Structures are given as structure tokens and as C-alpha cells.
Structure 1
Amino acid sequence: MALSKQVFPGDVQDIQVPVIAQHYLVCGTEDCKKNCQFYCNSCHQPLCEQCRDEHHIIPENKNHEVVPYRQRIRKLHVEKCKDHPTKDIDMICENCQVAVCSKCLIKYHRGHTFDDLESIYSKNFTMCLDKIYNINQYYLPTSQDIKRDIKEDVLKLKAFMDKIRTSIKAEAESVKRLVEKAMSDNLEQANEMEETLLEKLQSQDKAYDEYNGFLEILVKEFQDYLSYDKVQNNPILLSLSEVLNIKPIPKSTEPVYPVFTAGQYSKNDVAKLLGTVTVPTTKPASRKIKPMNITSTQLKPTRKLKEADGDELEVNQKLSLSSTAKSVREYIVPGVDCVYHISVGKSGILWASDRGGNLVQTDLQGKQLQMIKTSGRDDGYHTVSLDGNLIFADRTNCSVHSIIHGKTITRFIKTKEWVPLSIHTSSLNGDILVGIRTFLKGKVARYNKTGKEIQSLERDNKVQELYSEYPHYITENINGDICVSDFNKQAVIVVNKIGQHRFSYTGQESKIRPFGICTDILGHILVCDINSKTVHLLDQDGQFLSLLVTSQKGIKTPRGVCVDGDNNLHVGDGDTNTVIVYKYLQ
């Protein structure tokens, strides 16, 4: 049996990325192209189910250990012993903690305890992959979340301190107004005092003017007496005492000037008037770090379900894949020509759209509840928020709108020169993921609930463009992975929460042309392929599992997919307005 040159998850090439799933795993048997599900630990060969059975039939393989692929033992690189060049190093001495060959074991390590080097290598290799996986899935995203919280705290702090500065200025203005009023009162009082004193001085001045006039008249009279030429009847001779009587100088007082007493105050007194800024003595609370619930790449995820009263109930998933997808019902969506995209709402409410921009709200029986006209085309351009509101992209105005309570249309995201194609609401935190395009370029932008852009995904860690100019369907997996159907790249491109490229799925036996995409409660990825007219089912790491829906199972041209709250798969037909519902989990 010849081994193919396919690279499998867990080989040395995978060390930089915890889980690699380029395309799908193929059986290692020569000329067999089937999906690999098993692995022979003895001869290190991937096997499909049929080749596994045939492998056991061969007598020399009777005692070979064949296990599910995930439980395989990694093949140890062959290395010759330096002391014994004909022997492979295949054991490890636990006493000396060195790798040895069988001859070293006998010659230098007699009586020591040994273990199989390949088993140790495989165990530690898996442990390293788990650590890398945990770093990428928990530690890095959590650290990035905390960094984002810190940046938000910086903005909040600036806004808070701006309010304090405004309060300080307002307080100062208030004190300033009081000072100006007190100053005005003091000036008015000083003016009144000045006016009173001036009146008194002016009164005294007037009295002296009158007195001076009296003296001038008296002088003139005396001069007349002196020049009198007749002795008879001369007043100076008859009544000199009366003539010489001069009134005394009027009395006056000096003004008593007002005294200004300066205010007694200090900087602290003024500070008390203005208020002070202090740092509270309260000990700052530690930031909450969410607990890690990922311990191994082999574990199935859990998902938090919200009950009607808002409490969260964490449920361990006990569902598993059925052997086949079973059609349980179908319904017609009135008002559309075909069904290119389906969004799940609360209480069994769906939104479905066609390539002509018709967007219809319907119940699970296909009864039309509402219809609007949009600029959407054959893209996944609408989603339902965690509050049950419809959010849809507007190609014409490069924006994203929300319909609140089924009535008011509000624009809350402007994508500027980027045209929005696809959109999805995160069930983990309510963020809005939008696939957008501009001339010959595409990217994914993440917005918070208020419409602020908080993340832009355009290039991988090798600075290569992640997407073409047509990322036309988008969804999010339960581990935070962002999954995008890129029509022009003919691939499903998956990055983790912080934007690191995890894998790209490009098909099984031939290239796919991906359309509608969604994920389920177990982390499966379901994507429509218009080339094969099927729905591909992948696991969380991008490994192909099966063709879940084919033309023989009802839908001739699957375009839109979604999984409802009861874990039923809704598949929309690209040629008619029919939706068929399948049960594929049990």
C-alpha cells in the first residue's frame, strides 16, 4: 500500500497553527480518494472505512492498531544513533532522560526503565497542539478582549475627566460671578460714601463763599466810613463799636475718609469655594477574566442558551449527527422569486430574500408577515440581532440599517467607500460582522452594538489578502471563528476571533462555489455549493464530513441555509421560493 503525499492535521507542518484543514482528509491507500476517518498506528497510514476493513483482512496486518483519526499516534522522524549508526533511536531512558537505541539500552542503561519514544513523542506533540489551540482560542482572544476593554476605559476616562474639568470651570464661573457681585456692591457703597462726604464739603465751601462775600461788603463799608467828608452824622463817630463788629469765621470739619479693609483669604480658602479633585481611596476592582472552557482540541464545545427570562443556562451538548438528513417539512415564501438567504429570528420568525432585493418576514409555515424592498442581491445581506430586530445592508448607500420592532428603519453603520455584501450578528456578544468590498478588495469589519467599528480583517499573518472582492456570505461559529463564503476565491475562509487564519476549505473532489453558510450548536459548518448543487457539512476544524443535502434529497439548487432554535436546517432553493427543513442532528 502506497502512502499519498497529503499533509494531515497534526503533522510537523501544522505546528504553527493548532488545527489545519486544507480541503479534506483523503485515504492514504493508493488510488482511493475517499474521506479519511481512521488511522493505522502501526504503519502510519490514513484509511477510509472501506480500506480499514480491507486493511485488517491482510494477515500481516492482523495485529495492527487502527484507531479513529483523531486518536492516532504521530509518526516519529527516523533518526540514527550516533554510537550505533545501523540502529534507530526509538526508546527513551526515564532514569537518564535521554533518547537511545536498542544497543545503547543494553550497553549503557542496563536495569533502567524505558518507554517507547514514539508514544511519548505523539503524546507530547498532541499536548503542544492543545496548548497552541488553547492559546489561540482562549488566551489570545481573552487578552485582546481585555486590551479592548482598556482602550474603552481610556476613552471613558477622558470623557469622565472632561466632565470634571467642565464642572471645575462652571464652579469657577459661579465664584467669579459672586466675586463680581460683591465687588459691585463694595464699589456702590464707596460711591455713596464719596457722594455724602462731597456734599458735606461742598456745603462747607458754600458757607465760606457766603462769609467771604460778607467780608468784602464789610471792607467796602469801612472804606466808605473813612472817606466820609462830613463830621455830622458820620457813623464812625457815632457808633464805632457796632460798625467794627465782624462775624466770626464759620467753623468746618475735616472729612473722615473711609477705610478699606482687605479680605483675609488664602489659596486654600479659594480652593474650598471652587471644590477639589481627589482620588478615591477605594481599591480598584480586578478585571474579570472569563474562565477557560477549552481544555483540548478533542473536546466537544458547550454553548450557553438564554431562557425567556434572560438567565443563562449552560447546556452540555448531547446531540450528534444522524446517519442521514431527513426532510421533515417544506414551505413556500410568498413575495420572493427564489430563496438566496435566510435569517432566523425569535419565536419561529424568519426573514428570506431573493436576488431581486425582496426581503420577506415569514413564520415557520411560510405565512408572510412583512415585506420590504432593499438593494440586496444574491448575498447574505441580512441578519437578526439578539433583540429580534432585523439588520440589513444597503449596497446603494454603503450603510447598514436596522428595523426596530418591525417599524422604524434606522441607519446606524456607514461603511464609507466600502460596499456591504454580507452581515451576521454574533450570538456570543451581539457584535455585527459585515463582509464588505471596494475595487478589487474585500474584508470583514466588526462593529459593536452602537455601530462603532472595532475590528478590521483584511490580511493574514503573512500579510496576504484573506478575501477577494466578494465575501458575500458570513457567519460565526460557537468558538468565535469567523467563516466567510468567498465566491471569487472559491473557498470558505475561516479565521479565529482575533483574525488569525485557521483554514480555507475549497471543496472535496472539485472546487466549490460557496453561497449560503451557517453553523450549528455543535460547531459544524454548513455551506451551499452551487457547482455540485449540494450542502457540504464540515466539522469545526474544516474537515469534510459529508454531503448533507443533495439534489436527490429535495432541493435542486441550494442557495441559503440557516439552523433554527430547534436545530433544524432550513435550505432555500435558488430557482424557486421553496424552503425545505431537514433534521440532521439526533
Structure 2
Amino acid sequence: MDPRTSAQDVMRCDLCETAVVKMHCDTCLVNLCTNCVGKHFSADLSKPHTIVDFKDRKSTPLYPECKFHNKQQCTMYCNQCGTSVCTKCLASDQHLGHKLSEILQVLDEKKEKILKEQTELNEIIYPTYQDIASDVQNRMSQLEKEYGDLSTAITKHGEDWHREIDKLVKKLKAEVDEMKNTQLQILQKHLDEINKTMADIKDEIDSIDVIEDCNNISKLFSITTNVDRYRNLPQKILPSLPKFGPGRINEELGKIFGTLSPSSLTLDKHGYSIKTTQKSPEAGSSPPVKQLLDEPETVVTIHTKYGKLYEVACLSDEEIWTSGNDKTMKLYSINQGSLLKSITTKSGNRPWDIAVTKSGDLVYTDNNDRTLNIVKNEKIEEVIRLQNWKPRNICSTSSGDLLVIMVSIDNIQIKVVRYSGSTEKQTIQFDDQGKPLYSSGGYFKYITENKNLDICVSDSEAKAVVVVNQAGKLRFRYTGHTSAPKNQSFCPRGITTDSQSHILTADYNNECVHIIDQDGQFLRYIDCGLSIPCGLCIDTNDNLFVAQFRKQKVKKIKYLQ
């Protein structure tokens, strides 16, 4: 058995290739038996061989050789020149006054940096690329569906045209048959008259043949013929055929039938974002880092006129929309607390949830009417009407899309649907194993989009905040924190996010607000004497607004420096 290639044999000396390895030269990286140590030393006296036990191999630093001084090892590092230096380099004037470090210290720092970068690649960048790949695959699947729908629409339009053309052809052919039959009837009548005349003429000819041998003079004088009448020949009837003038088939037909707008691929200037809480100081578009206040404080309290207050949505830093247990949606001044405007739902039902779009329009869902509606210039327009699903909670995204939580008619299935206008773009319902992401029953589920484009749903029935990425892939579930103020079970209701990508959710049972980071780590509670918090929203200055269910009051709370 060859000791150099067999994995079943013990390690052998690199010199004699027979004896068992006992020692190792860390300088030359050679395995040695005890008898060959001396031979290895004498083979190259120019090097300072470092012989260690085989089990301690690679424990001796292998210093780099100096580029300028032969057979000199570099034990120092010049930070200014960015190069390793030996003792002879230090004795020269080349690095005079430069800041020097021990090369082993530089090595440790380099290793630490590489390990950090490896961790970033493994835990942040690679998963981000996985999410991007999943997003692209979802876009491709959606593209396949939408192009299929487009082809189906064109086929259907073509079938409609074929039906209309067939009807037109049938109508024209019927008109041709009617014209033909009319003219044939006229010609047939004319032919019948000619045939009768011909019979009369034949009778006269036969009568003349009879008298040819007649000697009765009186009878001959009594016979008269109708030759004069027959000399007047009948009129000639010439039928005039209709002419078919086919419409010209050219490029105009395509315009009449319908045209396709050009397709395009655009690059989002914002691109994808790395899933990390670290803020890059060099990134000009990154929001400034804000720290959590030790003691959050109530800035103002707005009194509403609802019996029960459910939702709040920021229109601006001065105005908020609210909704409760009646059919009106009310706009309040934040600083003055005065009612500015009231909008009544189109159906007379209470709005299930409200949100403000990127363009500043109010949108609301009508659970009983199964519609999603938008208010423009105080006029309500129906955007979506559902058949087998009921719309519940809603949020507007940074791209201008709407995310809607829907529940099936039997209140069992739950899904999140992304709309661009009235067009369905994405459905989020199951995880990678095909299991539902959200619990059955959609009474208390709120939704928001984080700054990193994650989609966050507070699922009260599941006692969890469920966070998926933009592609709909599950990132984490937050199920509360052990030190809850009232020591009750976690019951999330309203949910919102701030400029720091913090996720804030109202805890109905513990009468507080949980703050977690974008990766689901608990940061702190906001209490401020809250009473049954329900809906939440954040203004552009990261002030938190909390709708209190029974007190019918909205609290504006400052919690970031």
C-alpha cells in the first residue's frame, strides 16, 4: 500500500517516506520523522527552520520575506506605505517618521475584517440575493400570467370580430339570395308569357296546315291570322347584378382591430436594499440615525366623536384621518384638535379600514359591500369589487401600490393582495411548505410596508407579527416579549413602521406599543398611559399616532430623539 496516497495509512515522513511523522517544519511546511530533522536542517542552512511537534504545526507565524533585503523576514508593517518591513528597512531612512505596527497585530485585524465580511456575505448579502432571485422568479411567473392574459384577450377580441364578420357575411349573402330570387321570379314570369305566345303561334301554324288541302272557299275566307301581333316581339329583360365592393384590407385594419403598446424594461433607480439595520454614513439617501428616547412623551391628544375609535391615518404632519364604529371618516387638525371634514361611505356601512395613498387620497375598505374605494375631491370612486372575498385592512406602499388583507366568504382563508390601481399584481398566502402564512379569521389583522419593502402583518388571532419580504417569502414571526407591562398574552392590533425601519405594533391586551427592529428583535415598549390601543400611524417626523379604542382619543407620541 502506497503511504503517500492511501487514506488508511498513518502520515509518513516527507524525506524518507517510511518513518512515521513526529515533527513539522513551520518554515518549509514539511512533515518530518525524528531521524530526518537533522537532514532537513543541513539541506538549507540559509533559512531559520522552526521545528515543532506535528500536532502543533502551523502554530509559528510565517513572516513574509522582505522585497528589498534578501532572506530577511518582515515583522513590522508600515501603515503609511501599506507594506511589510524588516529590521533592515527600519534601519534605513525609507520609513523614518512613519507610523508602524506589529505585523501580527495587522494580521489579526485583517483576519477580523475578513471574518466580518464573511459573516456579512453569509448572513446578509447572500440571503438578500436569494430574496432578489425569488423576486425575479415571481416577476417572471407574473409576467407569464399577464402575457397569457394578454394573448387570451386578443384571442377573445378576434373571436368577437369573427362572430361579427360571420353575421355580416350571412346578412350580405341573404341579401344576394333575395335579389337573385326576385330577378328570377320576374324572368320566370316573362318566360311563361313567351312560352304561352309560342303555343298560340304553334296552334295557328297547325290550323294553317289543315286548310292547305281545303277547297272550301267560304271557310278559307273566314280564317284570319295574328301575324301582325306576333311580329311585335316581347321586350328583352336584362337583369342587373349587384356588385360586391369589398373593403380594403391594409394596415388600417390593425388599428381598427386594436394595437399593442410597446413593452419595456425599466431599471428602478432605488434598486434592491440590503437587509441590514446598519446605516451607511456615506449613503446620501439614507435617513439620519435616530435613537429611542428613554421616556416617550405624549405631545398632544385629539378628542374624536366616535362611540368606538378604530383607525387613524396621517394625511400630513398637521392633519389625520380617523374612522370608528359609524359610517363617517373624519379629518382632524392635529395641533388644534378641530374637525375639518367628514366623509360618509358610499354604502352607508362603516369603513373597515382607512389609509392615505402616496398622492394624498383617502382610501377605505367596505367589508359588507366587498369594495375598495378611493375619495377624490370628496367624491367616492369604487376601485375594486370582489366576488368570493371580503377586503379587510389596507395600506399604501412606497411605490403607490395598495396592499389589501382579504378573507374568504367562509372566514377561513386569508391572503394579502397587491394592487396597482385596480390590477392585481401579487398574492401572498402560503409559505415555502404550502402552509398558510396567516391564521383563519380576519377580524383583527393589520398591514404595513417597511422601508426595506418587507410586508408586515399583525395577526391578532395567531398572536404574532408575520413579516415577509417583497417577494412574499417568510422572514420571521414576532410573538411578543416576556416582560409585557400587564403580563398578559400578546395581542397585536394596529401596525406601522418608521424611518429607521422599526416595526411598531399596538398590544391590545397589555395596553402598550411594541417596538422591534426590521429583523424581529425586541427593542422597547411605549406605554404613555395608553388605554386599549388600536390603529397606529407615523408622520414624516416619526411621531407616533395611537387610536384608543374606548377613550375615542388619538395620542401623538414622540419616542425618537
Amino acid across the alignment from 1:504: R
Displacement of 1:545 in angstroms is 2.7
Q: Is the 8 A contact 2:299 2:556 kept in 1?
A: yes
Amino acid across the alignment from 1:581: K
Note closer, same or farther for the CA distance 1:179–1:344 as it changes in structure 2 (3 Å cut).
same
Matched, 1:330 2:324: no
Q: Which residue of 2 aligns with 1:46?
A: none
Q: Is the 8 A contact 2:317 2:539 kept in 1?
A: no
Note closer, same or farther for the CA distance 1:419–1:272 as it changes in structure 2 (3 Å cut).
closer
* Aligned counterparts of 1:292 and 1:101: Cα–Cα separation in 2: 53
* Aligned counterparts of 1:122 and 1:141: Cα–Cα separation in 2: 27
* Aligned counterparts of 2:424 and 2:344: Cα–Cα separation in 1: 27
Query: For the aligned residues, what is the CA RMSD?
Result: 5.2
Q: Is the 8 A contact 1:432 1:447 kept in 2?
A: yes
Q: Which residue of 1 aligns with 2:333?
A: 363
Which deviates further from its counterpart, 386-395 or 423-432? 386-395
Note closer, same or farther for the CA distance 1:489–1:210 as it changes in structure 2 (3 Å cut).
same
Amino acid across the alignment from 1:469: S
Q: How many residues align?
A: 456
Displacement of 1:502 in angstroms is 0.8
Q: Which residue of 2 aligns with 1:503?
A: 476
Q: Is the 8 A contact 2:328 2:342 kept in 1?
A: no
Matched, 1:515 2:515: no
Q: Which residue of 2 aligns with 1:392?
A: 364
Q: How does 1:161-560 map to 2 (within 5 A)?
A: 161-182=155-176, 184-213=178-207, 218=211, 222=215, 225=216, 285=263, 287-288=265-266, 290=268, 293-294=271-272, 296-298=274-276, 316-324=285-293, 327=297, 329-345=299-315, 348-354=318-324, 359-364=329-334, 365-368=336-339, 369-370=341-342, 372=344, 381-386=353-358, 388-395=360-367, 397=368, 399-402=370-373, 404-405=375-376, 406-408=378-380, 410=382, 412-414=384-386, 416=388, 420-434=391-405, 436=407, 441=412, 443-449=414-420, 455-469=426-440, 471-510=444-483, 512-547=490-525, 549-551=526-528, 555-560=530-535
Note closer, same or farther for the CA distance 1:454–1:284 as it changes in structure 2 (3 Å cut).
closer
* Aligned counterparts of 1:536 and 1:394: Cα–Cα separation in 2: 29
Amino acid across the alignment from 2:439: S
Post-superposition CA distance 1:180-234 (Å, at most 9, x none): 5455445544554454454344333323334545665x47974xx5xxxxxxxxx
Displacement of 1:342 in angstroms is 0.7
Q: Is the 8 A contact 1:389 1:402 kept in 2?
A: no
Q: Is the 8 A contact 1:421 1:437 kept in 2?
A: no
Post-superposition CA distance 1:448-473 (Å, at most 9, x none): 25656554444322344433335422
Identity of counterpart residues, as a percentage? 21
Displacement of 1:390 in angstroms is 3.8
Displacement of 1:407 in angstroms is 4.1
- TM (norm. structure 1) is 0.61
Q: Is the 8 A contact 2:299 2:558 kept in 1?
A: no
Note closer, same or farther for the CA distance 1:196–1:243 as it changes in structure 2 (3 Å cut).
closer
* Aligned counterparts of 1:203 and 1:144: Cα–Cα separation in 2: 88
Q: Which residue of 2 aligns with 1:30?
A: none
Displacement of 1:563 in angstroms is 0.9
Q: Is the 8 A contact 2:490 2:509 kept in 1?
A: yes
Q: Which has the higher contact order (CA 8 A, sep 6+)?
A: 1
Q: Which residue of 2 aligns with 1:152?
A: 146
Question: Equivalent of 2:547, from 561, 565, 572?
Answer: 572
SS of equivalent to 1:130: helix
Q: Is the 8 A contact 2:320 2:332 kept in 1?
A: yes
Q: Is the 8 A contact 2:277 2:518 kept in 1?
A: no
Note closer, same or farther for the CA distance 1:315–1:528 as it changes in structure 2 (3 Å cut).
farther
* Aligned counterparts of 2:538 and 2:403: Cα–Cα separation in 1: 19
Note closer, same or farther for the CA distance 1:188–1:409 as it changes in structure 2 (3 Å cut).
closer
Mind listing any 5+ residue stretches in structure 2 that lack a counterpart?
A: 1-10, 13-20, 30-53, 66-72, 74-83, 85-103, 484-488
Q: Is the 8 A contact 2:401 2:421 kept in 1?
A: no
Amino acid across the alignment from 1:148: Q
Displacement of 1:332 in angstroms is 2.6
Note closer, same or farther for the CA distance 1:465–1:361 as it changes in structure 2 (3 Å cut).
same
* Aligned counterparts of 1:390 and 1:107: Cα–Cα separation in 2: 68
Post-superposition CA distance 1:324-355 (Å, at most 9, x none): 27657424333214543212236854222346
* Aligned counterparts of 2:158 and 2:325: Cα–Cα separation in 1: 53
* Aligned counterparts of 2:386 and 2:22: Cα–Cα separation in 1: 68
* Aligned counterparts of 1:493 and 1:273: Cα–Cα separation in 2: 57
